[in-house]
Structure 1
């Protein structure tokens, strides 16, 4: 008899989540972006979680959702304002299990509920394919500096208007 994998669940961010979300952030960068960024770039990027208090304040200042498997956090995503995905990170051990898709689905619904007509994200080179499969279109290539290292990403955008059910009436 085949065993079913546990389904991920979502819940709001809690202040007590900061240490584990910082660890997920670092692990995702260190392990999942190896093909796209140098070691020095990954270290500079991951250093964004070195100051847990500051990292936690950033998460708390945005609409942050936490994905869990069997009640343990395995990923998180945050929505800045009504229309910008600020962060989307999944622990390497949970990658490929639908966690990122579930987080992104939820942010897209929340952005639409907040009146956003479209949603943007500054996608890492690693995440660009994920967002493209979800209908996000590349708009602009960017270079950002973190702790003296240059990292490239792509601003991508998805229209939320086409997500309305066909034949729906107001």
Structure 2
């Protein structure tokens, strides 16, 4: 299976939105209630993803397998805003590849440390990629619903002056 990664284009917004919704609904259902999941993705629209792609302060990448979007990731300043993988492609290296490209972009921008707010089901994934737990917290969705999350960080540039 060949995975290619590229910058997202506005015409990708529809598929990105579909991946986002499918990922949360399927991969988060064991950690979040149906009400929390619906508050999270129930009002997602392609227009919101299109605006993120067009935002000059954000960088979004997509992973494609056989010309289908398998996942996406987003960097905003020093924060990993998103890493979502379609459930059909989970545990196949797509998420790791998308996170790695975000980290490479951050290093190119001389960013030394990335932070993120992980869903509880993604904690082990991020830990396996070198992220450390800062604290357990809650994320307030646009609807006002609070969902548990984990604030995490990773130092990208290691100090070699031990």
Same fold (TM over 0.5): yes
* 2:78 is aligned with 1:64: no
* 2:151 is aligned with 1:152: no
Give yes or no for contact 1:13–1:60 (8 Å, CA) kept in 2: no
Query: Using the alignment, how far apart are the partners of 2:15 and 2:117 within structure 1?
Result: 23
* 2:118 is aligned with 1:123: yes
Query: Using the alignment, how far apart are the partners of 1:118 and 1:57 within structure 2?
Result: 26
After superposition, the Cα gap between the structure-2 partners of 1:99 and 1:163, relative to the gap in structure 1 and judged at 3 Å, is: farther
Q: Which has the larger radius of gyration?
A: 1
Query: Who is 1:113 aligned against?
Result: 108
Query: Using the alignment, how far apart are the partners of 1:117 and 1:56 within structure 2?
Result: 28
* 2:71 is aligned with 1:75: yes
Q: Structure 1: which 4+ aligned runs deviate by more than 4 Å?
A: none
1:142 Cα deviation after fit:
2.0
CA RMSD between the two structures: 1.6
SS of residue matched to 2:158: helix
Give yes or no for contact 1:122–1:154 (8 Å, CA) kept in 2: yes
> Which string of whole-angstrom CA distances, capped at 9 and with x for unpartnered residues, describes residues 63-90 of structure 1?
0000000121110000001x21001100
Query: Who is 1:141 aligned against?
Result: 136
Q: Which runs of 5+ in 1 are unaligned?
A: 1-5, 165-170
Query: Who is 1:55 aligned against?
Result: 49
> Which string of whole-angstrom CA distances, capped at 9 and with x for unpartnered residues, describes residues 39-75 of structure 1?
00001111351x3213320233210000000121110
SS of residue matched to 2:31: coil
Query: Using the alignment, how far apart are the partners of 2:122 and 2:12 within structure 1?
Result: 23
Q: Which runs of 5+ in 2 are unaligned?
A: none
Counting only pairs closer than 5 Å after superposition, residues 82-93 of structure 1 correspond to structure 2 as 83-93=78-88
